[in-house]
DNA sequence: ACTATAATGACGGGCTTA
DNA sequence: TAAGCCCGTCATTATAGT
């Protein structure tokens, strides 16, 4: 994947021009009402803010890359600037060390210093009065606000008793969210008794991160590679185990369900109809996070802990279509009255690919395909298999059958002729994943890249089933923040559900993928606005604030962060959540937290 | 002929379930 | 205990484009 957040290619990213160009491409087709006009201005400004930020941290682009890197880890800009000044730009390790030291020192410093080490807490971000805005815009803003307010007023509200003193109540809620009492009270000590739960969780997360890094540095001081190593993961797991020992019943490892049907599927029905969300997860907006289910041990525990301790819903898409796809979803959506996309997709290979039936030998017992991945079997492979089969006539001996079946399962081969196996065609993958035919075709994308983009995508029917509950909640449509959009699985799902897409802010590193979504957007005659950005690490509070200000906040944040370093088929760099690409999960967390903060401040 | 892009093939292992 | 599964990476080779 060209998605690579820590490479040298940052220098090549030209925010202003690229984004303005993309906006310009969109605006003419969809700006009949002035809203788009506003958005254009806002996005341009947003980009300008980003570059201003880079400029203000002085000393050019490599510096800003550095700053962004640490911002991404959750340190405040002031601290980063300070650390860079002390250590110089060259030595990232010593900068990080300084940053962590500041964190440690802060606890003994004066109260004023306390807030400076908060993770990502936006400084007094508020919504300004919108006198200067056009009436069009005003209307849409109000409509949106009432949308989201309505939707949340009905949800179950806190059951914490009012008799408790404030700080004990806070400890209680934090404990409910899965933090230890020590962590909670330390956070309250540091942030003060008046601190909001969000502030407190921010602090705890920062502390946890720092702690993990600390262990790493203590034992590995000499040469550290920044892009997480296996050792780093091992140490992280060690830390997990230590924590578990300290508090055995508190830190239950997440286990995968069998059958993997989450809270239910269209065919299994809703097995679970009620769940209790942690308080912190009840606040708007709705969020939906996705990643591979079979991640290294401890990864889902960490992801869950960062996402307000919401339990993952593990679902295998083989219950929705003809191909397996084991994924975990963490979301705060209601789970009653879900409904599937119609028509229901074929759920066996022979129904999905009828032409294969004729050639399917009786000794191939498969009815479902395995997970659709990013690479396919080669022509040479299927040629070898054909020759092997031809040699032994109509009834291949056991060992040949086993050889063939092993390859079939490994490469998801299907029968297309006598003794002839073939990998799936890209349009067959599109169909299995629930995308319109030719969704990824043309526009300059190579076959190889089509497979890659598709292999990295959502299964649309599965995601749509989960998101279907939004249809009643937002009859007028939604504003969505789509992180790691890929080829637009969430967008397609919502569209097929008949949920209008008002404003979609989409962040996707691959230009080919952005083109795919853009072209889908045009072809489906979307009336809303599609706003593209390329790099999640560059999405900051200012940008979000401007965007949200323009259309009244997000109703939904969707994202599946990179699985490269989690996926089982990665033999080279399965480094866990700290891996080069997979660590972008922390940007999902960071951005979600920023959005929540902005939306909550707005209400007060 | 040279360059850029696309396709190919070699590369295990951690973890779960039966 | 054994079988089966997995949103992958990288260097090399083939092909397309000029």
* Residue-level pLDDT at A229: 34
Q: Which helix (H) or strand (E) holds A315?
A: strand A313-316
The residues of A between 78 and 97 with beta carbon within 7 Å of nucleic strand C are none
* Residue-level pLDDT at A92: 55
More confident residue, A382 or A28: A382
pLDDT tens readout for residues A220-279:
322 223 333 333 334 444 444 444 444 444 456 899 999 999 999 999 888 898 999 999
The Cα A201–Cα A187 span in angstroms is 8
By C1' distance from the Cα of A325, the closest nucleotide is C7
- State yes or no: pLDDT of A177 exceeds 50: yes
Residue holding tokens 């502030």? A199
List chain C nucleotides near protein: any atom < 7 Å from a Cβ. Answer: 4-10
* Residue-level pLDDT at A153: 29
* Residue-level pLDDT at A253: 82
Mean pLDDT for A138-167 is 36
Percentage of residues in chain A having pLDDT higher than 90 = 55
Residue with nearest Cα to nucleotide B13 C1': A571
Residue A353 token pair = 């690919």
Across A162-176, A184-198, A568-582, which has the greatest mean pLDDT?
A: A568-582
* Residue-level pLDDT at A393: 85
- State yes or no: pLDDT of A110 exceeds 80: no
The integer distance in angstroms from the CA atom of A51 to the C1' atom of C3 is: 54
More confident residue, A115 or A547: A547
Cβ contact A365 with chain C strand, < 7 A: no
The residues of A between 523 and 542 with beta carbon within 7 Å of nucleic strand C are none
* Residue-level pLDDT at A334: 97
Cβ contact A6 with chain C strand, < 7 A: no
Mean pLDDT for A382-405 is 92
By C1' distance from the Cα of A574, the closest nucleotide is C8
A467 pLDDT band, cuts 50/70/90, is very high
* Residue-level pLDDT at A257: 95
Cβ contact A455 with chain C strand, < 7 A: yes
* Residue-level pLDDT at A128: 25
By C1' distance from the Cα of A368, the closest nucleotide is C5
A196 pLDDT band, cuts 50/70/90, is low
What are the DSSP calls for A125-184, one per residue?
A: --PPP-TTS-HHHHHHHHHHHHHHHHHHHTS------SSS-HHHHHHHHHHHTT--HHHH
- State yes or no: pLDDT of A454 exceeds 60: yes
The integer distance in angstroms from the CA atom of A61 to the C1' atom of C4 is: 48
Mean pLDDT for A205-228 is 40
pLDDT tens readout for residues A512-543:
999 999 999 999 999 999 999 999 999 999 99
Mean pLDDT for A101-128 is 34
Cβ contact A208 with chain C strand, < 7 A: no
Residue A192 token pair = 């003060």
- State yes or no: pLDDT of A162 exceeds 70: no
* Residue-level pLDDT at A530: 98
pLDDT tens readout for residues A30-47:
333 333 333 332 332 223
* Residue-level pLDDT at A82: 76
A203 pLDDT band, cuts 50/70/90, is low
Among candidate residues A290, A204, A295, the one with its CA nearest the CA of residue A255: A295
Residue with nearest Cα to nucleotide C8 C1': A570
A139 pLDDT band, cuts 50/70/90, is very low
CB A474 within 8 A of CB A445: no
By C1' distance from the Cα of A370, the closest nucleotide is C5
Residue with nearest Cα to nucleotide C10 C1': A572
The Cα A79–Cα A76 span in angstroms is 5
Question: How, if at all, do strands A326-331 and A414-417 pair?
Answer: unpaired
A329 pLDDT band, cuts 50/70/90, is very high
By C1' distance from the Cα of A256, the closest nucleotide is B16
The integer distance in angstroms from the CA atom of A442 to the C1' atom of B8 is: 22
The integer distance in angstroms from the CA atom of A257 to the C1' atom of C2 is: 22
Lowest mean pLDDT among A182-191, A345-354, A382-391, A409-418: A182-191
A186 pLDDT band, cuts 50/70/90, is low
List chain B nucleotides near protein: any atom < 7 Å from a Cβ. Answer: 5-18
The integer distance in angstroms from the CA atom of A442 to the C1' atom of B5 is: 16
Cβ contact A371 with chain C strand, < 7 A: yes
By C1' distance from the Cα of A410, the closest nucleotide is C5
A81 pLDDT band, cuts 50/70/90, is confident
* Residue-level pLDDT at A392: 87
The integer distance in angstroms from the CA atom of A446 to the C1' atom of B4 is: 13
Signed CA dihedral, A242, A245, A251, A256: sign only: positive
* Residue-level pLDDT at A427: 96
CB A570 within 8 A of CB A579: no
A87 pLDDT band, cuts 50/70/90, is low
* Residue-level pLDDT at A222: 28
CB A36 within 8 A of CB A29: no
Among candidate residues A302, A328, A176, the one with its CA nearest the CA of residue A244: A302
pLDDT tens readout for residues A339-364:
999 999 999 999 999 999 999 999 99
Cite the beta strand spans of A484-597 per DSSP E: 501-507, 529-533, 556-560
Mean pLDDT for A305-318 is 97
pLDDT tens readout for residues A544-579:
999 999 999 999 999 999 999 999 999 999 999 999
The integer distance in angstroms from the CA atom of A449 to the C1' atom of B3 is: 21
Residue A507 token pair = 């962040």
pLDDT tens readout for residues A579-594:
999 999 999 999 999 9
- For the annotated catalytic residues of A, the residue numbers are 563
């Amino acid at each position: 994947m060209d998605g690579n957040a820590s490479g040298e290619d940052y220098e090549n990213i030209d925010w202003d021009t690229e984004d303005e160009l993309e906006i310009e491409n969109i605006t003419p087709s969809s700006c009949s009402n002035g809203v788009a006009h506003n958005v254009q201005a806002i996005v341009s400004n947003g980009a300008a803010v980003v570059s201003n930020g880079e400029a203000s941290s002085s000393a050019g682009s490599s510096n800003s890359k550095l700053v962004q890197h640490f911002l991404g880890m959750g340190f405040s800009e002031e601290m980063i600037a300070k650390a860079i000044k002390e250590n110089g730009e060259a030595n990232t390790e010593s900068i990080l060390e300084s940053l962590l030291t500041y964190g440690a020192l802060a606890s003994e410093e004066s109260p004023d210093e306390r807030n400076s080490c908060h993770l990502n807490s936006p400084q007094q971000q508020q919504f300004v009065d919108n006198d200067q805005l056009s009436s069009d815009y005003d209307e849409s803003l109000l409509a949106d606000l009432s949308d989201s307010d309505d939707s949340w007023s009905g949800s179950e509200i806190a059951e914490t008793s009012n008799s408790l003193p404030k700080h004990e109540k806070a400890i209680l809620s934090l404990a409910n969210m899965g933090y230890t009492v020590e962590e909670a009270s330390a956070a309250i000590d540091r942030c003060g008794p008046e601190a909001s739960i969000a502030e407190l969780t921010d602090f705890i997360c920062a502390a946890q991160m720092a702690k993990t890094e600390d262990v790493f540095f203590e034992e590995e001081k000499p040469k550290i590679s920044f892009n997480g190593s296996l050792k780093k993961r091992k140490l992280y797991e060690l830390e997990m185990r230590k924590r578990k020992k300290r508090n055995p019943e508190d830190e239950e490892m997440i286990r995968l369900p069998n059958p993997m049907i989450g809270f239910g599927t269209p065919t299994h029905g809703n097995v679970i109809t009620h769940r209790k969300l942690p308080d912190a997860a009840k606040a708007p907006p709705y969020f939906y996070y996705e990643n591979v289910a079979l991640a290294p041990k401890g990864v889902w525990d960490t992801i869950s802990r960062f996402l307000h301790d919401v339990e993952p819903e593990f679902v295998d898409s083989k219950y929705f279509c003809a191909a397996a796809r084991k994924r975990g979803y963490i979301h705060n959506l209601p789970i009653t009255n879900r409904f599937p996309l119609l028509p229901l997709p074929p759920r066996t290979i022979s129904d999905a690919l009828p032409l294969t039936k004729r050639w399917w030998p009786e000794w191939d017992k498969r009815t479902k395909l395995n997970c659709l991945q990013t690479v396919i079997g080669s022509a040479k492979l299927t040629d070898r298999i054909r020759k092997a089969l031809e040699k032994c006539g109509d009834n291949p001996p056991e060992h040949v059958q086993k050889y063939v079946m092993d390859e079939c399962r490994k490469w998801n081969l299907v029968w297309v002729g006598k003794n002839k196996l073939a990998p799936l065609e890209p349009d067959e993958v599109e169909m299995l994943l629930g995308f319109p035919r030719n969704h990824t075709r043309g526009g300059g994308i190579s076959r190889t890249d089509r497979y890659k983009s598709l292999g990295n995508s959502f299964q649309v029917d599965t995601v749509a089933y989960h998101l279907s509950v939004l249809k009643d909640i937002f009859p007028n449509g939604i504003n969505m923040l789509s992180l790691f959009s890929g080829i637009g699985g969430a967008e397609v799902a919502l569209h097929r559900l008949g949920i209008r897409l008002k404003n979609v802010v989409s962040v996707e590193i691959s230009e080919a993928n952005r083109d795919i979504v853009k072209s889908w957007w045009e072809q489906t005659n979307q009336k809303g606005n599609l706003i593209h950005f390329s790099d999640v690490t560059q999405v900051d509070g200012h940008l979000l604030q401007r965007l949200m200000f323009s259309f009244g906040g997000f109703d939904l944040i969707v994202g599946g962060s990179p699985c490269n370093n989690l996926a089982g088929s990665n033999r080279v760099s399965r480094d866990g959540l700290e891996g080069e690409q997979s660590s972008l999960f922390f940007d999902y967390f960071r951005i979600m937290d920023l959005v929540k903060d902005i939306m909550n401040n707005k209400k007060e």
